[in-house]
Amino acid sequence: NAGVTQTPKFQVLKTGQSMTLQCAQDMNHEYMSWYRQDPGMGLRLIHYSVGAGITDQGEVPNGYNVSRSTTEDFPLRLLSAAPSQTSVYFCASSYATSTDTQYFGPGTRLTVL
């Protein structure tokens, strides 16, 4: 099993550009989530999904969109990147709920100029 994979590992964008961060898991997990990690702020939940076709907002959803068309994939879209979105992004998955062990991907380091 590859676990949770994220692409790309690094990305530099200009303000206003759009892009999609990819996340995939091969563990047949229902629960998937996206976090951003900023220095001194810990991890903050952006969006999460409890299964294909079901998503909900976390603490900091503004500026981000998600969809869950399959169990395996949970992409995160930045519609119009802003410097405030410079961060490290982590995708995580778990069996069914947030209290099941979360398996984290390696992260994507995004810089918005």
Q: Is 83 left (phi over 0), alpha (psi -120 to 50) or beta?
A: alpha
**Complex with other proteins: residue 18 or 41, whichever CB lies closer:** 41
**Complex with other proteins: residue 16 or 51, whichever CB lies closer:** 51
For the bound state, the minimum distance from the C-beta of residue 50 to other proteins, rounded and expressed in Å, comes to: 6
**Complex with other proteins: residue 4 or 112, whichever CB lies closer:** 4
48: its two tokens: 């999460």
Residues of this chain that bind other proteins (CB under 8 A): 4, 33, 35, 40-45, 48, 50, 56, 58-59, 90, 92, 96-99, 101-107
**Complex with other proteins: residue 33 or 85, whichever CB lies closer:** 33
For the bound state, the minimum distance from the C-beta of residue 79 to other proteins, rounded and expressed in Å, comes to: 23
Q: Cα separation of 108 and 68, whole Å? A: 19
Q: Where are the beta strands (DSSP E) in 10-86?
A: 10-13, 19-25, 31-38, 42-51, 54-57, 64-66, 76-78
